Amino acid sequence: MSKINRNNMPGFLRYWISVTEKAMIPLIIFQFIRTILFPSILDVLLLGGLIALYFSFQSKAI
């Protein structure tokens, strides 16, 4: 398997990946506050998924 190279992706896909990367921290903060105020299993799983996605962006896996 070859590693995904962002430079070989179409422009619109690179743009949306960049927008998603920049929006992750506010989404994580909002979801954390929501999880503290109204805890449910769905909120905890969503927060875990957002954190995992953030770290995958930071490690350039996506």
| pLDDT tens profile 14-53 | 899 889 889 999 999 999 999 999 999 999 999 999 999 9
Consecutive H or E run containing 28: helix 11-37
Q: How far apart are CA 59 and CA 32, in angstroms?
A: 22
DSSP code for 4: P
For position 17, what pLDDT does the model report? 86
